[in-house]
Structure 1
Amino acid sequence: MKRIVGAILAGGQSRRFGSPKAFAKQNGVYFFQRAVEALRPFVQELYIVSHPALVSRFQQETSEKVIVDEQVYRGQGPLAGIYTVMKQTEAEWIFVLPCDMPYMRASTIGNMVSYIDASFDIVVSAHFGRVQPLVGAYHHRVIGDIERLLKAGNNRMFWLLEKSRVRYVKEEDFFEDERVFRNINRAAEYDDIVTEDML
């Protein structure tokens, strides 16, 4: 297997949620730990990209490497997080997950990893017509494009997708429960999953 490292993006400020989403719980397990469980079987190293204010809390809860965005690009969102991990490693591929998908499964990641192909720069999920740029693998060769975008202040993930050779993995490639790709962004959505899990 080509060398793959994992990147869990947990550097957002969770304004809409009201508290750090990474430390919300689903069935007693922190959201970020769900991402760790899903990624860990398929990566040789794993990084949690944290907001600076949460580093010590992560370090209390996990033995995984915890890093913060490079100072020059701090606050520029997921693209800065991916760039930061790429600067930390020479691994060929970076597999990215957000910290707010508590239903993500290791089997889903395994299926996604099987579509990694060096003829593409990026391999991301596009299940059910929804492109998920934060569920997928990024080849280290795109670091230059990422840096140019960040320097220009163009930090939308889709700018990078438009510049790259992308393999969009869809439900026709492997079927998955739509709930697996569900992001929890607001407190009301979290209340819904707590209720669902109690049923």
Structure 2
Amino acid sequence: MKTIGIVLAGGQSKRFGEPKALALRRGKPFLLYSVEALHPIVDEIVIVAQRCIQKKLPLQDVLWIEDEPQYKGKGPLAGIYSAIVHHEATWYIVLPCDTPFIHKKIINKLKEQADDSFDVIVPRVNGRLQPLIAMYHYRVKSLIYNCLQREEYRMHTLLSACRAKHIEMTEELPFMNINTKEQFHKWIG
């Protein structure tokens, strides 16, 4: 069972004002927290990002791609689809670049739940699904393509078309996105 980690770092970070992937927590770029959480658990890591991120953070042992041109700027579904199109695996563990409290225990819990009778393994924290920290089977490629063709870019649209296994998780901090400077100052300092 080949598993690829996908780190989504292609967003425009409008609310944050600069690329969140490069924001620092304890002197380390946010993007590295996602990469390090995935690294011991997956076979390969694909980072979906604009070239400017790659130039500023030239990581070794990862694969860098950009969104497929026709879907550039269309959100997380475009990034996931672009990675699946270029790198085949059975399962893909998706992480955003703006969760600097993520850790490998969360990723291990996801991978332990792999079950080929489901299309997606998605955590639920305090009643909220977390589709951007989830595990997707290769089969979702066609479902994502259909969403993109219909210009349906919401992750929940995809989830509603999938056979989803929900995993209850109680630890909230690893799932926290840092989207604004206010959140950054509150949680990072």
Q: TM-score range by the shorter chain?
A: over 0.9
Q: Could you tell me which residue of structure 1 aligns to residue 149 of structure 2?
A: 151
Q: Could you tell me which residue of structure 1 aligns to residue 118 of structure 2?
A: 120
Q: 2:110 touches 2:134 (CA, 8 Å); kept in 1?
A: yes
Compute the displacement of 1:130 (Å).
Answer: 1.3
Q: Could you tell me which residue of structure 1 aligns to residue 187 of structure 2?
A: 193
Residue 30 of structure 2 aligns with an amino acid whose one-letter code is: F
Compute the displacement of 1:63 (Å).
Answer: 4.2
Runs of at least 5 residues in structure 2 that lack an aligned partner in the other structure: none
For residue 84 of structure 2, give the secondary structure of its aligned residue in structure 1.
helix
Residue 141 of structure 1 aligns with an amino acid whose one-letter code is: R
TM-score by length of 1: 0.91
Correspondences of 1:34-73 after superposition (within 5 Å): 34-59=33-58, 61-73=59-71
Whole-Å separation in 2 of the counterparts to 1:36 and 1:71: 24
1:29 aligns with 2:28: yes
1:88 aligns with 2:64: no
Runs of at least 5 residues in structure 1 that lack an aligned partner in the other structure: none
Name the count of aligned residue pairs. Answer: 189
Residue 179 of structure 1 aligns with an amino acid whose one-letter code is: L
Alignment match of 2:173 (pick from 172, 179, 183) = 179
Whole-Å separation in 2 of the counterparts to 1:111 and 1:76: 29
Q: More helix per residue: 1 or 2?
A: 1
Compute the displacement of 1:56 (Å).
Answer: 2.0
What root-mean-square deviation, in Å, do the aligned CA atoms of Structure 1 and Structure 2 show?
1.2
TM-score by length of 2: 0.96
Whole-Å separation in 1 of the counterparts to 2:22 and 2:86: 24
Residue 77 of structure 1 aligns with an amino acid whose one-letter code is: G
Q: Could you tell me which residue of structure 1 aligns to residue 19 of structure 2?
A: 20
For residue 146 of structure 2, give the secondary structure of its aligned residue in structure 1.
helix
For residue 41 of structure 1, give the secondary structure of its aligned residue in structure 2.
coil
Runs (4+) of structure 1 exceeding 3 A deviation are none
